[in-house]
Structure 1
């Protein structure tokens, strides 16, 4: 229904542009012998066209700014995950990281208060009903964007987690209507038992002729994301977590890839998922921010990389997201973390660019299940790095 209305509006604009172009051609044909009355008439046509066009564009933007998919009509799929003890995961991850970093330690201990200034999250812990959530996916962005794919995070997470408090952190595409541009979403929000939204999320957008990265807080009342989303859900309760420190990378794998592949090698077909926060404390990392939606189809990872805007971003960066060892027959994205900073940097994590000095600190918890929402039926593997 929405797509049809949008298409009709576009056709209307095209028709009025055509009328306007004909009028301007007429001016060219009659000038310089056109009468003053003719010119006044054509000027009125031009003015009416511009006013009508501007009105319709404003209406479309306003309609889109309020738009979202009906959560009740989305398809939800759920599967359990293998849940090793934190002590078992400690040993597996320690072994993997030691192959890739000069210094690496993994401990099981109490989660620090993640509301502290250095972390900047809206809840204190990662405990309680730990769940991985994936909504949509890259096929809704590529080869061409499907703009109608706007989701209400508050409604989706409530349906998954049931009554009580919800804490959601992770990576996705930002709610583009509020920025009038495609953008990255760095999600950090909670929903109280009374359905009150606390939003500490950000968008990162490419702006201006210099293509600067602009990090902005998402309004506290904005519950949406667009196109694709990977979240770690919990009750935000204090409790034990994996406390990870890694310094001076000596291998080729990035921090998250090293952990994920170590788990995959150890557990094989048993699917394990983790989520939480990691902090780049020293050094710099290679990250991207999506430019505005491409008007030409994107079909390959090479074309994706030409479209994305890459930056080397300095520490400190706080990255939120999820990892899972297998797709679990749900077309899952295996790892996805977005970071924010306390300056103007934010984006999609790829790898560090200063291996000799880089320092990572992470707090992760193991998920009990994964929920897949609005899985693309026509899928592909492009744009999943």
Structure 2
């Protein structure tokens, strides 16, 4: 946990979501499960209960101080809705301004036109202070079609917090991962596509480019780990990695590289340092 909390209590009569109270294990129990479960995946791994660094400082440069206070995981669901995936939208402002607490929100999702300036991988990163003070420091990552260059656009307009189709976020806490050394592979969307988009979301994800990124310095990823049954999407053939409809982490850096994390391609070299907290509640946002 961080040294400072991320906000105070605030109430609203209307909530665009319903909340399920969770019964999480203790931090010690979770640490033991992660240590044992990931032992075979890394050369060396150590899972500890530790104090989170100040996330507003480099290399994280996030909007909130840390991962403590009023912990919730937020999910967007739309099963059975007959609407094209790139028009299944929600504005995170509606969630924050009707929530019960001042908040720091981080998470991974997607953006599309005309709701947002570009198509791309959206890293939500913002703070909210009741009743209407939103500081948006989110990032939109995409490739420019005319030159193939990756672009990371920092979003500061509170009205540019609209996500589409699927998203998992942490309110007042979350998961932050720092990657150092070697190279990683990340899916990357173009900033523009021809309309209408007739293919399914999973077919769209399957055909994304997956460039290799050499880690010039620390790369930061945010996302969620949810203890639920994984739904297989596709295999990324170039790196022989299975893609699932859960546990996505989207990455950004200060040297213009990022996207949806797929895998490291230098397992003997790449190092990870992650900080996570445990959600006490799950808020489910239905598409209406």
In structure 1, what is the equivalent of residue 151 of structure 2? 214
Whole-angstrom distance in 2 between the partners of 1:118 and 1:301: 32
Residues 122-177 of structure 1: per-residue CA shift (max 9 Å, x gap): 1111111111101246988x994443x33221221333x414x2000010113634
Residues 259-292 of structure 1: per-residue CA shift (max 9 Å, x gap): xxxxxxxxxxxxxxxx310011122221112233
**Displacement of 1:230:** 1.2
Alignment counterpart, residue 105 of structure 2, candidates 168, 183, 186: 168
Q: How does 1:349-360 map to 2 (within 5 A)?
A: 349-360=261-272
SS in 1 for 2:277: strand
Alignment counterpart, residue 283 of structure 2, candidates 363, 371, 374: 371
**Displacement of 1:197:** 1.2
Bigger Cα displacement from structure 2, 311-320 vs 126-135: 311-320
Q: Does 1:317 align with 2:219?
A: yes
SS in 2 for 1:109: coil
Whole-angstrom distance in 2 between the partners of 1:193 and 1:338: 28
**Displacement of 1:314:** 2.8
In structure 1, what is the equivalent of residue 93 of structure 2? 154
Q: Which runs of 5+ in 2 are unaligned?
A: 1-13, 231-243
Alignment counterpart, residue 128 of structure 1, candidates 66, 69, 82: 69
Alignment counterpart, residue 50 of structure 2, candidates 109, 113, 131: 109
- TM-score scaled by length of structure 2: 0.79
Cα pair 2:96 2:103 within 8 Å, conserved: yes
Cα pair 2:54 2:65 within 8 Å, conserved: yes
Pair 343,363 (structure 1): closer, same or farther in 2 beyond 3 Å: same
Cα pair 1:172 1:230 within 8 Å, conserved: yes
Pair 73,232 (structure 1): closer, same or farther in 2 beyond 3 Å: closer
Q: Which runs of 5+ in 1 are unaligned?
A: 1-71, 237-274, 377-385
Aligned length: 257
Pair 176,137 (structure 1): closer, same or farther in 2 beyond 3 Å: farther
Whole-angstrom distance in 1 between the partners of 2:223 and 2:31: 19
In structure 2, what is the equivalent of residue 269 of structure 1? none
SS in 1 for 2:198: coil
Alignment counterpart, residue 283 of structure 1, candidates 182, 192, 195: 182
Structure with max Cα Rg: 1
